Amino acid sequence: MSEDLDARLIAALQQDGRASYSELAARVGAPRTAVSARVQALLDSGAVGIAAVAHPQLLGLTSLAHVSVAVSGPADDVVDALCATDASVFVSAVSGAYDLVAELRVASDRELYGALAHLRAQPRVRAVNTLLYTDVVTSVFMPQGPLRSDVHVNDTDLRLIELLERDGRMSFVELARRVGMSPSAVRARVSRLVGNRALHVAAVVRRGTGSGRPALGAGLNLGGDDERVTAFLAASPGVEFVARTVGRFDLVLTLGSDSTTRLHHVTEQIKALDEVRGLTTWAHLEVFKEHYSRGIARTSA
């Protein structure tokens, strides 16, 4: 029973990591006291963290890619190289034709090429396959859609973002104390940042901590228009990430669940869609890095 409640709470927190216990209780249909206890237990265990993620465009990151890496022999040195670079926000050992996958976010295609060249130069790297994101359809790890052109942030906004990157559920009272403003003013600023899609606060499942929550990556090859497929994926429980890509797949996605049985059920539903011509999956065996926050460079006005 607690595992089912945990799954529902994580899904709710991935949508809004700052939702109050009362709001969470209403969403998952459980008593507030039970919700408070389970959320605190998840946070204390390290299995789940709540963090703010600024829109990649706000950080100047306009080139995003999914990279699959085949390694000859042990992958430790390659993992270390991927984790050490600021370009990577996600690094995982996987099953299947490749040994590792990573997500890279950089400022330009030229910078991406440089990061890939550095990766290819690692002695044990046998092959690198890159999927360029053309757009992110849905994600629990970042704000949705393009950054609005009229969004502007000042030093106070940046300080609030940095604080929420460290603790996404930090109270408005504590945030106000840190930035020297009233709680009501801070609440308004955070609401504006979230409402303008400059910031997203969400639960991140720490799958490298032995949480036992399986995750599956998948690549889809499609025939015809992708709108029905992307709409289905965006509305499906457990779908954490979907991006349109250029490369060997038309879409790449991440599925998370509390059981492999549920993951199998979702993949069967996806394969049943008329537009899906092929589905390739890989299991995430161990996550070495999952850090979507990145410092924002301050520029003088």
Q: Convert the pLDDT of each residue in 230-285 to its tens digit.
A: 999 988 888 989 999 999 999 999 998 878 898 999 999 999 999 999 999 999 99
Give CA separation, 125 vs 69, 99, 122, 281, in Å.
7, 10, 6, 21
Burial class (CB in 10 A: 0-12, 13-18, 19+), 282: buried
Identify the CATH number of the domain defined by range 152-195. Answer: 1.10.10.10
Provide, rounded to the nearest whole percent, the portion of the chain with pLDDT above 90: 62
Distance between CA 264 and CA 258 in Å, rounded? 12
CATH topology of domain 2-45: Arc Repressor Mutant, subunit A (1.10.10)
| End-to-end C-alpha distance for the chain, whole angstroms | 54
Q: Which residues contact 301 (CB under 8 A, 6 or more apart)?
A: none
Is the per-residue pLDDT at 299 higher than 60? no
Please, what CATH class does the domain formed by 63-142+206-290 belong to? alpha beta
Q: Convert the pLDDT of each residue in 125-181 to its tens digit.
A: 999 999 999 999 988 777 777 777 788 888 999 899 989 988 999 999 999 999 999
Is the per-residue pLDDT at 32 higher than 90? yes
pLDDT tier at 10, thresholds 50, 70, 90 = confident
More confident of the two residues 181 and 15: 181
Q: Among residues 28, 24, 43, which one has the least CA distance to residue 203?
A: 43
Sequence ranges of the domains in the chain: 2-45, 63-142+206-290, 152-195
The angle formed by the CA atoms of residues 30, 144 and 204, to the nearest 5 degrees, is 50
pLDDT at 296: 53
pLDDT at 142: 76
Is the per-residue pLDDT at 60 higher than 50? yes
Burial class (CB in 10 A: 0-12, 13-18, 19+), 30: middle
Do the Cβ atoms of 220 and 230 come closer than 8 Å? Answer: no
Q: What is the DSSP string of 150-201?
A: T----HHHHHHHHHHHH-TT--HHHHHHHHTS-HHHHHHHHHHHHHTTSEEE
Distance between CA 17 and CA 15 in Å, rounded? 7
Do the Cβ atoms of 247 and 241 come closer than 8 Å? Answer: no
Which residue reads 């502007």 in tokens? Answer: 152
Per-residue HEC secondary structure of 54-80 comes to: ECCCCCCCCEEEEEEEEECCCCHHHHH
Can you state the angle between helices 183-195 and 155-166, rounded to 10 degrees? Answer: 90
Which residue reads 């600021």 in tokens? Answer: 86
